[in-house]
Amino acid sequence: AQSVTQPDIHITVSEGASLELRCNYSYGATPYLFWYVQSPGQGLQLLLKYFSGDTLVQGIKGFEAEFKRSQSSFNLRKPSVHWSDAAEYFCAAASGGGSQGNLIFGKGTKLSVKP
Amino acid sequence: DTEVTQTPKHLVMGMTNKKSLKCEQHMGHRAMYWYKQKAKKPPELMFVYSYEKLSINESVPSRFSPECPNSSLLNLHLHALQPEDSALYLCASSRIVGETQYFGPGTRLLVL
C-alpha cells in the first residue's frame, strides 16, 4: 500500500540552528512529493514540491528539500531556523490522476523553536 | 495568486441544526476537495469534485452533503451532526486532480 512516513513526531531546535525533517515514502513508482506547513488553527501552506528533474528543490521561507530515490526520501531542510517556523509540518505524496492523485499525508512533525 | 477562501472561520452548531460551509477559489482550478482534520492528525480526504462532478466520496456519512454549484464554489452542507464531527474542515483546489493542491484557512466546527 502507498504510504508516507514521518519518523519524528516532535522536534525541538534552537533559533538559528539548522533543521532537517525526515520523510520517507512507499510507492510503486516515484510519486509527486510535497511539504506543507500548518500553524495552529490554520490551513496548510505549500512550502515546496517535487515532480521531476533537479533533486534539490527550493521553496518558500528559505526551505529546501532533497529527493533521494535510492532512499525513498524527501527530507526538508533549513539552514537557520527562526522562531516563526514553529508549526506542524506535513510531508505528502500523490501519484497520477484519478484516485491516485489523492494526497497521502504523513502523520506530521511538530517543530518547536527554543529562543 | 493561490488563494482559497473559506467561510465562516468558526461555527458552533447543535446536533439538530443545519448549516453550510463555503469554499471559493478564482484560480480557474477544476478540482476541489473537502478534508476533515482532527487535532494532532493529518487531514483526511472526504470528497473530490472534478469539473463540478463528484468523483470521490470517501465513505463519508450522509449527514455531510457536498455541492459544487460552479467551477469556483464548493459547499458542504451539514445536518444532524454528532459531537465527534467537531474538527477543522479544510477546502483545497488544484488545476486538475493529481496536481498541486492549495488549501484554504479552514472552518473550525464545534458540534454541541
- Per-residue pLDDT reduced to its tens digit, A3-47: 999 999 999 999 999 999 999 999 878 889 999 999 988 899 999
Contacts of residue A54, defined as CB under 8 A and 6 or more positions apart, other chains included, come to none
Residues of B in contact with A99 (CB under 8 A): 56
DSSP SS3 for A47: strand
For B110, phi then psi, to 5°, come to: -125, 125
Is pLDDT of A99 > 70? no
For the stretch B16-51, pLDDT in tens is: 889 999 999 999 999 999 999 999 999 999 999 999
Residue of B nearest to A48 (CA): B100
Partner residue facing A46 (CB), from B42, B88, B100: B100
CA distance A102 to chain B (A): 6
Contact A44 B48 (CB under 8 A): no
